[in-house]
Amino acid sequence: MLTRTLLLLILSLMAACASTPAASGPTTPPITWAVAIHGGAGTIDRNTPPEQAAAYLASLTRALDEATTRLARGESSLDVCEAVVRLLEDDELFNAGRGAALNEKGQAELDASIMDGATLRCGAVAGVRTVKNPITLARAVMEQTRHVLLISDGAEQFAASIHTPLVDPSYFVTPRRQQMLKKALEKPGARADHPGVTYGTVGCVVLDSKGNLAAATSTGGMTAKKWGRVGDSPILGAGNYADQYAAISGTGTGEEFIRHGVARMIAARVALKNETLAQAADHLVHKTLRPDDGGVIAVDAKGNIAMPFNSEGMYRACADSTGKREVRIWED
Ligand code: ASP
């Protein structure tokens, strides 16, 4: 009898132990989605009139809200990247779509690319002049052709064939960018490749709730660029890249981003050197690029976000599923 009671006691003690959670410290919830957005880097004067800074912050906030709403309802990283970049292309504050930087002839020649980290599928367009949303055309190149990059007239013809909205080239030209072009042409001695006079390229990188990464970037390039010049934004691996390890979008001196394959190199350092996303992105921005060349936004498969830049400022915003949220221009 005594043995039976003892046995019952031991069994009930064991059951109680099994249902009691092990003692542990406070746990951080896992990140299920994360997003970072940029609106360009460069010599963004700290004495910018407050209303101008506020306008940029409001636009970035609107773009971030769009991204977080879509991510919270389970949309894919590709859909979110495209939607955010479209929004910024339509916003004339930024150097992409309407409000793009103008080339030496006063024309907007637009570049964009998008990449799906899960499959390495990607699409890009360069030198388009009538496509209202170049990022959507880049996605169509990815999904509806067997190619990666279409340029100029061929890209425009493809856009017309799939009924992508087209506009008159004058739609992209704003008085502000005409003013910037005039200034740049008046100063032939100025560093022609400097991003300072062009800031506003836009980009978005996303980790979605299925664990897939994507990156998208769109730009008018650099003010007073040569007719026909193509920058890093439509060059996959240079200004835009996504794989299963990381998604990266760059902004700044495109030629330098192309030379060093900046976006691909960041993902490669994470994959092959076992660096954290922050270490890899910092290395490229602070050790490989030259001072004032620009910056990147990046997100990895765990939802870590890095947004280093080596210029005076970078319009940027980020958020994740745990409540992290940031919208900034300067370092502090
Ligand atoms: N990277 C862009 C280009 O060189 C310009 C920028 O980001 O400001 O085309």
Give which of 132, 63, 131, 102 is closest to 198, Cα–Cα: 102
Q: Is 164 a catalytic residue?
A: no
pLDDT digits (tens, 9 = 90+) for 250-279: 999 999 999 999 999 999 999 999 999 999
Q: What pTM was computed for the model?
A: 0.91
Q: 75, 199 in Cβ contact below 8 A? A: no
* Residue of 68, 130, 198, 201 marked catalytic: 201
Give which of 263, 226, 225, 222 is closest to 246, Cα–Cα: 263
Cα 297 → chain centroid: 6
Distances (CA, A) of 181 to 97, 107, 221, 327, 332: 16, 10, 12, 28, 30
Band the pLDDT of 197: cuts 50, 70, 90. Answer: low
Q: List, in sequence order, every beta strand (DSSP E) within 132-210.
A: 149-151, 202-207
Counting from 1 in the atom list of ligand 1, the atom nearest the Cα of 220 is 9
pLDDT digits (tens, 9 = 90+) for 301-328: 999 999 999 999 999 999 999 999 999 9
Residue 217 — φ and ψ, nearest 5°?
Answer: -145, 140
Residue to mutate (ligand 1; options 219, 225, 310, 315; most atoms within 8 A of CB): 219
